[in-house]
Amino acid sequence: MKSKVYFIQANRREGDKLVAEKAERAFLALGLHSRIEKDAFVALKIHFGEKGNTGFIKPEWLKGIIRQLQGRTDRAFFTDTNTLYVGMRSNAVDYTQLAARHGFSLEKTGLPVIIADGLVGENDEEVKIGLKRVNAGKIAAAIARADFLICLNHVTGHVQTGLGAAIKNMGMGCASRAGKLEQHSEVQPRINPKACKNCSICLDYCPAGAIIQKEGSAHIIQDKCIGCGECLVVCKTGAVRMRWDEDSARIQEKMVEYAYAVWDKFREKAGFVNFLLKITKDCDCMAKDQPEMVGDIGILASTDPVALDKASADLIIERSRKDVFRKSYDIDWSVQLRHGARIGLGSLDYELIESS
């Protein structure tokens, strides 16, 4: 049987109120809200946006969803996890303040923000799954202990996985810092000294202190590298390179298996909403205003994250008339979808149910 994916066309130019109404209708189509018990803990997993980023899901678009949840329980909360790289999202205090600046405060949304893996990413629970690349996922404790999970996903490209959507938000986004490190552990970037301008930006951003200046060029100490890919993102000259086919396939499969570990905790108590608005080349970790790759398309929802991401990618490619994800980074982003279907996270076959 094909998985159901609900789709409503939407555009930011319609205004926040109408976008919120459409997001609410997409969410209600899942039927998940009717199963939420009184006083259940409901985790709304979202990316609050890096400092300077403008592409993240706006809190105003979520008012209808919030209203539906508040009608069922007083224990819904927004959540995300600490990052590997150094910045305002690498500890709970700074990140909570950043989220508030981006509109995610208790006063504005009516929901608290909880950074799910603790002050500096130390709080997690192991979920044993025994899959190909991950035996036990290290999942942020506040997410693992919730009763329901709603993943609110801004669909973008991604420097390491090609596509960032529901699977990435659940797999990488719900992992503790230790879990993120495990997913990145086999990624080994290299620096081309001929392209390197020795500007030292990558040295400033490397959270592991694994980059040094050597013989007129930056140099990565492989034994210290944690594979976070931050150097790849910040390099302005394209000097940092990865072995895309090998490294991206591994990290995608690990990410998918982490997503499975999260999904396995919730199963029928998990729902996913994809926002295909301001679709950018890189994810919301980028600390800048990014141009869109393709115009706004709409909002999709499903209880199947694989089908949801497949439908989202299909709509984006159809609209742009090319594979914008592959064009941005030479990565076979479909690895994550195929692996997700292979391990039982979801299905590649879907029925797109469109409403106005």
276, 292 contact by CB (below 8 A): no
Average pLDDT over residues 333-352: 98
For domain 190-241, give the CATH number. 3.30.70.20
Cα–Cα distance measured from residue 103 to residue 330, given in angstroms and rounded to the nearest whole number: 35
Judged against a pLDDT cut of 80, whether residue 233 lies above it is answered with no
**What does pTM read for this prediction?**
0.88
Phi, psi of 122 (to 5 degrees): -95, -15
Which position has the higher pLDDT, 75 or 159? Answer: 75
> Which tens digit of pLDDT belongs to each residue from 255-265?
999 999 999 99
What pLDDT sits at residue 245? 47
DSSP 327-355: HHS---TTHHHHHHHHHTS--S-EEEEEE
| 3-184+248-355 under CATH 3.40.50.11440, yes or no | yes
- Phi-psi region at 185: left, alpha or beta (left = phi > 0; alpha = psi -120 to 50): alpha
Q: For residue range 160-193, what is the model confidence (pLDDT) as tens digits?
A: 899 999 999 999 999 998 899 889 876 678 899 9
Report the range of poorest mean pLDDT among 88-92, 182-186, 201-205, 350-354.
182-186
Could you read off the pLDDT of 51-74 as tens digits, one per residue? 999 999 999 999 999 999 999 999
Whether 3-184+248-355 and 190-241 share one fold: the answer is: no
Least confident of 114-123, 238-247, 307-316: 238-247
Would you list the domain boundaries of the chain?
3-184+248-355, 190-241
